[in-house]
């Protein structure tokens, strides 16, 4: 059988006659020298015998002159032979440029050897003796963030900062090197990147198992098995070295966009879950959403696929007293866009999907292939710093809301990576004054992701180490969604989201979410809780009525107001409301009357969690009663409503809200501050629960729009404490 051998040589600009053989390709057929070079390219590319990065290069002569693909092969051979013959000073190399017939009579082989020259891409080099002006400006600029506007669920009262001591003269890159981009990488190069980053593996929540059988949240980690693989595609015409080049072979190269613009992010995390997301390179938006239980746009109670013990671990993962401010300096190289057009399911994932038919197999699928998947992945390197705070409040509060805006910056210094402790602060009062005293202790830590990680404390040496694609890592992930929803984007798997949903619906049941409402500490009292109380001696609601009576008589005269006041007193005294003013809802020590329940639908035996802006009827099993409010005593512009407990048929509907963002929706974390809000018969918010200033214990409802204290109640938002 005739065989043709192509010695592929790379010719660099300015280095003619000094080419080196990069590939030796064998083709079991004779070559028709009247064929165009495009046919020769097809034969060399077929079966991926020629790397994808070389398949798009232009043909050239031995001297480096470009030759278009429409040129006949015989003409190309002649040009190379003529180039050799016309070289008077430098003798021709020993390897013939034209074809060299070789016959091996013993083995019956018929060989022809050809030298093929390809125009090597120009090496892109950049002088890196000093950082670019844009990067200097980035590192030296003050970082402004409006915490109340952008992170209401993460920021409680105060935030430390980092300051800048950046010196241009002290921060210079130590070495130079070729600038590597996705356009210069071959299929083999991308395979190396895939193995190093595992960007086709989903993200899963990892737990540790305790001795008592419970679990503790540990971190977010890559799933052990890849759910997807790159779909082969043709090389884009824009990537070809010459417009005449056409490559029909398909290569498994992801869809990418070159992006080398450095940037910085500053954000705060308030739980171990959000801190793990920050260290796992998730976007700031997704990290913020996790603070309210909305993980990657989906509620943990709806989309996660967690077992009961794992859901309990997530419920315990937050920390209300420990916070971290995170700073990332990002040096990206490329962005990958991953969707159903450029991906396909792995055989392992497809096989596993066909076996998912109940709750247990669904949970196992998520453990193997992840709970979530990112459709937008940024590769490169980043420097990550996290400053932790341990805050202990020792002062008193007058129930205020301050909008605080802090600016922060970080500094680099030669041979070390540190931050100095200076800050600027701007306060903007919203409504009322605030007093708070805290003791803060902080500890700064640094790490590098991507590049040569052993150089994390030497940024000048670390920066150029990000250039080689072998050192790229995932530095940011966006467009994250539940993996079942992502799989549903594939035409042949569009039934998967409904299948997963059906499995969860079968496991859906109503369970009691048990919690208590811990009162904010005031002077002279601590560790107090909302509860259904009794006090036949003090008759606390009688004092509430008395203050209401005084206010009405100050402004209104006549029999009408007197009749109304007396009617309200008689109503409040009835057994259906206060049993002779002996019953009330108020703040006192923790007991069985402080334990509440609401009915919540859950799936896959997940731990029930309260959510913001979801109506509830709040039940106390010790009293076997529900929380209610009576506002029938309101008179003209005077709103009057007190809390009491009753049977279910007269119970009121309530919602929990964030005071600083009342429209916010999401899961309420353990220890999170809430505003308990009364709904009217139309389901609209009317007012929120506050302390009666007469005894600072009895709870009443204050109408929206009334200044604090004007109705003899003062703002008081409790903390949700799950059992």
pLDDT band at 209 (very low <50, low <70, confident <90, very high): low
pLDDT band at 154 (very low <50, low <70, confident <90, very high): very low
Residue 646 pLDDT > 60, yes or no? yes
* Distance separating alpha carbons of residues 487 and 547, to the nearest angstrom: 62
Give tens-digit pLDDT for 477-527. 888 899 999 999 999 999 999 999 888 888 777 889 999 999 988 877 778
Q: What is the mean pLDDT of residues 526-542?
A: 92
Confidence at residue 319, expressed as pLDDT on a 0 to 100 scale: 42
Confidence at residue 601, expressed as pLDDT on a 0 to 100 scale: 82
Token pair, residue 678, equals 């009364």
* Distance separating alpha carbons of residues 60 and 590, to the nearest angstrom: 86
Residue 539 pLDDT > 50, yes or no? yes
pLDDT band at 683 (very low <50, low <70, confident <90, very high): very high
* Distance separating alpha carbons of residues 147 and 156, to the nearest angstrom: 10
CATH match for 511-722 among 3.40.640.10, 3.60.130.10, 2.60.120.1270, 2.80.10.50? 2.80.10.50
Give tens-digit pLDDT for 322-354. 556 667 778 899 999 999 999 999 999 999 999
For the ranges 271-285, 295-309, 315-329, 549-563, the maximum mean pLDDT occurs at 549-563
| Cβ pair 296, 288 in contact under 8 A | no
**Most distant pair of Cα atoms in the chain: their distance:** 129
Each domain of the chain, given as residue ranges in start order, spans 2-119, 129-184+229-394+404-507, 511-722
* Distance separating alpha carbons of residues 291 and 155, to the nearest angstrom: 10
Residue of higher predicted confidence among 407 and 488: 488
- Looking only at the bridges linking them, the beta strands covering 402-408 and 619-620 are unpaired
pLDDT band at 97 (very low <50, low <70, confident <90, very high): very low
Confidence at residue 706, expressed as pLDDT on a 0 to 100 scale: 87
Residue 475 pLDDT > 80, yes or no? yes
Residue 121 pLDDT > 90, yes or no? no
Residue 186 pLDDT > 50, yes or no? yes
| Cβ pair 221, 203 in contact under 8 A | yes
Give 455's strand partners: none
Confidence at residue 221, expressed as pLDDT on a 0 to 100 scale: 85
Give the residue carrying structure tokens 């997301």. Answer: 277
Q: What is the mean pLDDT of residues 304-320?
A: 48
* Distance separating alpha carbons of residues 228 and 133, to the nearest angstrom: 40
Residue of higher predicted confidence among 251 and 587: 587
Residue 107 pLDDT > 80, yes or no? no
| Cβ pair 326, 449 in contact under 8 A | no
Confidence at residue 610, expressed as pLDDT on a 0 to 100 scale: 93
Residue of higher predicted confidence among 396 and 638: 638
Give the C-alpha distances (Å, rounded to integers) separating 526 from 303, 375, 698.
38, 48, 16
pLDDT band at 213 (very low <50, low <70, confident <90, very high): low
Average pLDDT, the chain: 75
Give tens-digit pLDDT for 579-617. 999 999 999 999 999 999 999 887 766 778 899 999 999
Confidence at residue 22, expressed as pLDDT on a 0 to 100 scale: 85
| Cβ pair 27, 47 in contact under 8 A | no
pLDDT band at 653 (very low <50, low <70, confident <90, very high): very high
Give the C-alpha distances (Å, rounded to integers) separating 48 from 51, 52, 569.
6, 7, 91
Residue of higher predicted confidence among 409 and 486: 486
What DSSP character marks residue 93?
Answer: P
- Looking only at the bridges linking them, the beta strands covering 2-11 and 109-119 are parallel
Residue of higher predicted confidence among 201 and 248: 201
- Three-state SS for 14? coil
Confidence at residue 237, expressed as pLDDT on a 0 to 100 scale: 64
Least confident of 207-221, 470-484, 587-601, 700-714: 207-221
Confidence at residue 347, expressed as pLDDT on a 0 to 100 scale: 95
Q: What are the start-end ranges of the H helices in 574-711? A: none
Residues 6+ positions from 696 with CB-CB distance below 8 Å: 522, 587, 714
pLDDT band at 271 (very low <50, low <70, confident <90, very high): low
Residue 306 pLDDT > 60, yes or no? no
Q: What's the N-to-C CA distance of the chain in angstroms?
A: 80
Give tens-digit pLDDT for 416-471. 333 333 333 333 333 333 333 333 333 445 578 898 888 877 777 788 888 899 99
- Rg (C-alpha) for the chain, rounded Å, is 35
| Cβ pair 286, 365 in contact under 8 A | no
Least confident of 55-59, 137-141, 571-575, 635-639: 137-141
Q: Give the percent of the chain with pLDDT over 90.
A: 36
* Distance separating alpha carbons of residues 173 and 309, to the nearest angstrom: 49
Residue 240 pLDDT > 70, yes or no? no
Residue of higher predicted confidence among 218 and 193: 193
Confidence at residue 103, expressed as pLDDT on a 0 to 100 scale: 47
- Looking only at the bridges linking them, the beta strands covering 438-449 and 66-67 are unpaired
Residue of higher predicted confidence among 402 and 706: 706
- Looking only at the bridges linking them, the beta strands covering 233-234 and 250-251 are antiparallel
Residue 396 pLDDT > 50, yes or no? no
Confidence at residue 173, expressed as pLDDT on a 0 to 100 scale: 42
The values of phi and psi at residue 455, to 5°, are -100, 20
Confidence at residue 111, expressed as pLDDT on a 0 to 100 scale: 83
């Amino acid at each position: 059988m005739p065989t043709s051998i192509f010695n592929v040589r790379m010719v660099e600009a300015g280095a003619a006659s000094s080419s080196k053989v990069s590939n030796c390709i064998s083709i079991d057929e004779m070559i028709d020298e009247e064929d165009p070079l495009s046919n020769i390219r097809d034969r060399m590319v077929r079966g991926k015998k020629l790397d994808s990065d070389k398949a798009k290069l232009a043909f050239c002569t031995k001297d480096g002159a470009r030759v278009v693909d429409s040129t006949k092969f015989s003409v190309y051979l002649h040009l190379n032979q003529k180039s050799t013959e016309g070289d008077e000073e430098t003798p021709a190399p020993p390897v013939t440029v034209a074809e060299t017939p070789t016959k091996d009579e013993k083995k019956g082989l018929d060989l022809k050897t050809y030298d093929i020259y390809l125009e090597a891409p120009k090496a892109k080099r950049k002088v890196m003796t000093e950082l670019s002006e844009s990067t200097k400006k980035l590192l030296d600029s003050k970082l402004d963030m409006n915490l109340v506007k952008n992170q209401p669920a993460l920021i409680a009262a105060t935030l430390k900062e980092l300051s800048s001591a950046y010196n241009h003269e002290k921060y210079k890159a130590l070495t130079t090197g070729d600038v590597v981009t996705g356009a210069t990488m071959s299929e083999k190069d991308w395979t190396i990147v895939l193995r190093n980053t595992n960007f086709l593996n989903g993200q899963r929540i990892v737990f540790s198992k305790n001795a008592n059988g419970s679990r503790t949240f540990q971190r977010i980690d890559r799933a052990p098995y890849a759910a997807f693989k790159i779909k082969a595609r043709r090389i884009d015409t824009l990537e070809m070295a010459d417009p005449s080049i056409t490559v029909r072979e398909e290569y498994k190269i992801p869809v990418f966009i070159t992006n080398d613009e450095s940037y910085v992010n500053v954000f705060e995390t308030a739980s171990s879950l959000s801190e793990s997301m920050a260290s796992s390179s998730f976007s700031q938006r997704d990290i913020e959403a996790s603070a309210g239980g909305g993980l990657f746009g989906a509620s943990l109670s709806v989309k996660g696929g967690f077992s009961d013990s794992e859901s309990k671990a997530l419920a315990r993962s937050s920390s209300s007293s420990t916070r971290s401010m995170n700073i990332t300096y990002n040096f990206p190289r490329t962005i990958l866009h991953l969707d159903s057009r450029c991906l396909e399911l792995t055989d392992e994932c497809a096989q596993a999907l066909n076996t998912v038919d109940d709750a247990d197999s669904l949970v196992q699928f998520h453990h193997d292939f992840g709970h979530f998947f990112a459709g937008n992945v940024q590769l490169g390197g980043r420097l990550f710093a996290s400053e932790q705070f341990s805050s202990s409040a020792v002062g008193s509060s007058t129930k205020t809301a301050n909008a605080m805006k802090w600016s922060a910056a970080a500094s680099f210094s030669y041979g070390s990576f540190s931050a100095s402790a200076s800050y600027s602060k701007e306060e903007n009062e919203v409504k009322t004054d605030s007093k708070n005293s805290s003791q803060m202790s902080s500890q700064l830590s640094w790490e590098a992701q991507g590049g040569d990680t052993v150089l994390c404390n030497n940024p000048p040496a670390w920066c150029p180490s990000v250039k080689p694609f072998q050192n790229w890592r995932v530095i940011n992930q966006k467009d994250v969604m539940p993996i079942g929803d992502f799989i549903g984007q594939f035409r042949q798997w569009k039934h998967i989201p409904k299948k997963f949903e059906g499995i969860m619906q079968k496991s859906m049941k109503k369970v009691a979410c048990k919690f208590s409402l811990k009162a904010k500490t005031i002077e002279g009292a601590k560790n107090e809780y909302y509860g259904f109380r009794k006090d036949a001696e003090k008759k606390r609601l009688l004092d509430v009525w008395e203050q209401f009576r005084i206010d009405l008589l100050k402004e209104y005269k006549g029999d009408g107001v007197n009749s109304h006041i007396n009617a309200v007193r008689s109503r409040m005294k009835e057994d259906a409301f206060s049993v002779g003013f002996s019953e009330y809802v108020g703040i006192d020590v923790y007991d069985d009357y402080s334990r509440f329940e609401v009915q919540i639908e859950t799936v896959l035996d997940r731990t029930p969690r309260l959510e913001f802006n979801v109506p509830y009827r709040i039940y106390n099993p010790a009293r076997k009663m529900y929380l209610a409010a009576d506002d029938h005593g309101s008179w003209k512009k005077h709103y009057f409503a007190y809390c009491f407990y009753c049977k279910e048929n007269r119970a009121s509907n309530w919602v929990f809200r964030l005071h600083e963002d009342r429209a916010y929706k999401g899961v309420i974390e353990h220890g999170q501050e809430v505003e308990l809000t009364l709904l009217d018969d139309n389901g609209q918010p009317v007012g929120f629960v506050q302390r009666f200033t007469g005894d600072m214990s009895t709870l009443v409802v204050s109408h929206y729009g009334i200044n604090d204290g004007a109705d003899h109640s003062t703002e008081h938002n409790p903390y949700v404490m799950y059992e």
